[in-house]
Chains A and B, each alone.
Chain A
Amino acid sequence: MSQPAIKLAPPPPAKTEVSSSWRDGWRSFRKNRLAMVGLGIIVFFVLIAVLAPFIAPYDYKEQELVNRLHKPGGEHWFGTDDLGRDIFSRIIYGTRISLWVGISSVVGSIVAGTMLGIVAGYYGRWLDALISRFFDILLAFPGILLAIAIVAALGPSLQNALLAIAIVNVPVFGRLVRARVLSLREEEYIMAARAIGMKNSRILWQHILPNCLGPIIVQGTLGIATAIIEAAALGFLGMGAQPPEPEWGKMLSDSRQFIQNAPWTVIFPGLSIMLTVLGFNLIGDGLRDVLDPRMKS
């Protein structure tokens, strides 16, 4: 009836190896070849952006009017545009703009979206209703249209384009975080944290937020890619970076009339956009595989 009184044997030894889930993650990320290619591409572009003044053979503003629409060759590797500016140098400097726009706008969306999402998910009730409806309203407009409207209201500049892209992407992160918090709230360790008398703010910081980070990081890397495309689109429409800033989308739109005679003026900016977006997407996909428990063997 009662359990046999077993003498307390020394508890079984646990595994010795101490490793964090981050290190485990890196190990399996490294095995993902495509993700590593993506990481390679992004590291490559980051290096270019950082070292731009040392790599670029010319100033991106420097015009050689005698050498307009010069073919790619020894002197100008990627040729020159209609104002005789060196496309290679402009693309190198453009890397700075695109990476800056992509990363900072996504960081902005993440900060705002995460805060709103956590509050909505954790406190619920009318706050949730209010914040969720706000997200619905933002999502009701096509992203690029909303971004154009915001830039139109604020005036065209790179700063405003960045802000517009950030705002457009807030609900993407907000809804992601809210959904995650809703499921986390029911976890037993959250109940256990409350049972040891922890304050709400502390539970949010220590328990909820760290457990939301996985999906946020995945969505973030994918979001950088989208943000770069959106920035290029706004630039193409003349609502982003202003001349003579070498923004890739702007370079495309400025050169589209020469596409037949001087295709290099559009090919190289286009390729650059494609490569960075590809890089971030590959990293994002790789991270998703690493952080999704269902993908673990």
Chain B
Amino acid sequence: MAAKQNQENLPVVLVYRRPQFNLPHRNRLSRHFILLDPADSQEPTSSFLSTYAQSVRALLCVGYSTITSETLSLLPSLELIVACSAGVDHIDLQECHRRGIAITNASVAFAEDVADLAVGLLIDVLRKISGADRFVRGGLWPVMGDYPLGSKLGGKRVGIVGFGSIGSEVAKRLVAFGCSIAYNSRRRKPSVPFPYHANVRGLAADSDILILCCALTEETHHMINEGVMTSLGKEGVIINVGRGSLIDEKELVQFLVQGKIGGAGLDVFENEPDVPKELFSLDNVVLSPHRAVFTPESLEALIDLTSANLKAFFSNKPLKSLVEIEL
């Protein structure tokens, strides 16, 4: 009896997900919140929301299920969206801003793992690790002799695009390898000890390597274009752990195929899980199936962070990972 009463006092959280995305921490969350999950119901989502979600103040967005202004219009009491991803480009940010809906993301939970993968992809591209591994597995070493030389990482100039929690973890790691760091961000960050470039093309001109760690927005869509890649140059390497559409992918493929750029390490693509086939025959490209955050440790950290954000919200305390939206 007491348990049921406690249940009724718990705050309500709307779980918003496409049916194929699971909620790994349902049990943990159910101890503290009443979970409303339209994907569990046979009713179409819009009528479910209209019936049951009118007074819902908080929404937990699982995976990158899109939240449109139509959806938001069915949630008149919504004040908070807790995203389970680093990127929030799947949410109608303009509408949230207009409505005063706060958004928290998960970059902080993932930052180390994403940074680790960015560095791993970079070393792989420069030192040809995946290519050399294929060479050995294919039995080619005794037949063909030494593998072609790679390129040294130490002393290279790294340009980090987006200096948030992920970008700063990348910088911290690469400094230990003897790289010099510069960055581009929406605004110069006074606490960051590295040179700032106001635009990406300028950063590319001064860099041997570009690492993309920024959010996907209207401004950053196809930010890595023909001009930037030309500025980066023939030996330049691009690592993308942000979103596929930060790069003009068609242009990138052309640059790689024609040898106008040195190489690329990509965890994300414009049209996942489709990857341009021309890349499969290239040895100076390392491809990853959007796995930057998928370690058990990151997922645990994600669960902790999203729970913490929800708890903070319902006890009127400051949110843990509020996203600053700039429009």
Please determine whether chains A and B interact with each other in the same assembly: no
